[in-house]
């Protein structure tokens, strides 16, 4: 995905900080999805009642909405 869709790195660092020079950390989209996932699973009393695949899809839907708003798209 391009940077406009992912938001680029959530925690950008120089390659000097990593053994892998191609590593730039998680994308902002992934960070938003992780935050959304935390909210989704924290509201379910018994996690076995939620399908993890459905929760992941929903988390990325929230992340995509955040990215869309952040990028100024109506």
DSSP line for 10-47: SS---GGGSSSTT----BHHHHHHHHHHHHHHHT-SSG
| pLDDT tens-digit readout, 32-56 | 999 999 999 888 777 677 888 999 9
User: Can you give the pLDDT at residue 13?
Assistant: 67
Average pLDDT over residues 5-25: 64
| pLDDT, mean over the chain | 80
User: Can you give the pLDDT at residue 69?
Assistant: 92
pTM: 0.69
């Amino acid at each position: 995905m391009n940077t406009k869709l992912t938001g680029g790195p959530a925690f950008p660092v120089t390659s000097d900080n990593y053994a892998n020079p191609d590593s730039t950390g998680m994308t902002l989209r992934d960070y938003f999805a992780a935050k959304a996932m935390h909210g989704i699973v924290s509201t379910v009393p018994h996690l076995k009642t939620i399908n993890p695949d459905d929760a992941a899809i929903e988390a990325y839907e929230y992340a995509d909405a955040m990215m869309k708003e952040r990028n100024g798209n109506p």
